[in-house]
Structure 1
């Protein structure tokens, strides 16, 4: 087993924060605005974390797992989020949000089925549902920026 502190992180390819701030800052602002439109900040972190798991964005995984913990999320739920359907740990509202997250994240293959959308609409008023879709869209954009630029989390000591 390798000590993770000795394994160098892949080099950052490009910093959008530095080289395209007029794009990057509004993207972050849109993500924050979408999250603020949800009644539950923990749910926003779970949505961000699940999309980031699917997309493999290390920076976003680290950031949103930390954010979820800061909002009181329990470790066993974080540990099983990738298999949320097979656990009893998530509420019907969270399940609807996670199903929508997966469907929108994988939109090229799913086309967001009517049933997935209808289930989310049962649990979220229209304004909150609109913010949820916005949040899912923004985290997917941020995941793509993070993966393409090789944005990595800061080392933890």
Structure 2
């Protein structure tokens, strides 16, 4: 998939791009690669970032993610294909992406139970990173100039 950009934010601020890429890599280093990609894909779906969605579905496949699960990701709550840890990660990703409602105590507690403190910290930073990438990607993309959700 080719996404047309109206502004190459990476070329205009390469040091910031490099710092963001390093931050993203450090955040995900404490997670199973498949879980990291699932939360990146889910946040990108919610944010309507076609560029990140394309990039991270490919990365999920390379991390060994099953095509059936990628197709079911948008409706993961109703799918038997996701385990407890993945469900906890996806619930947290959705709550952190739609931050207006806050992160419910139960969602936070379940993620903490599944990932422990260090894993939860890495998960939260990974979710924060993909949300930042999504916002920059949507703003810089000519294909998404009419608002999020147009590409999904």
TM-score (norm 1): 0.86
Q: 1:41 aligns with which of 33, 36, 39?
A: 33
Alignment of 1:1-150 (within 5 A): 11-38=4-31, 40-108=32-100, 110-150=101-141
CA separation of 1:10/1:51 partners in 2, compared to 1, >3 Å: closer, same or farther? closer
1:117-149 deviation per Cα after TM superposition (whole angstroms, max 9, x unaligned): 001011011011001000000000000010000
Shift of 1:73: 1.1
Across the two proteins, how many residue pairs are aligned to each other? 143
Structure possessing the higher radius of gyration over alpha carbons: 1
CA RMSD of aligned residues (A): 1.6
User: Could you say if the C-alpha distance between residues 73 and 93 of structure 1 is closer, same or farther in structure 2, counting changes exceeding 3 Å?
Assistant: same
Counterparts of 1:44 and 1:51, CA distance in 2: 11
Q: For 1:112, what is the secondary structure of its paired residue?
A: coil
Is the contact between residue 121 and residue 129 of structure 1 (CA under 8 Å) also seen in structure 2? yes
- Structure-2 change in CA distance of 1:53 and 1:129 (3 Å): same
Q: For the structure 1 residues 151 and 71, does the alpha-carbon distance in structure 2 shift closer, same or farther, using more than 3 Å as the test?
A: farther
Measured at CA, do residues 29 and 107 of structure 1 come closer, stay the same or move farther in structure 2, by a change above 3 Å? same
Q: Is the 8 A contact 2:76 2:82 kept in 1?
A: yes
For residues 10 and 25 of structure 1, the distance between their equivalents in structure 2, rounded to whole angstroms, comes to: 21
TM-score by length of 2: 0.89
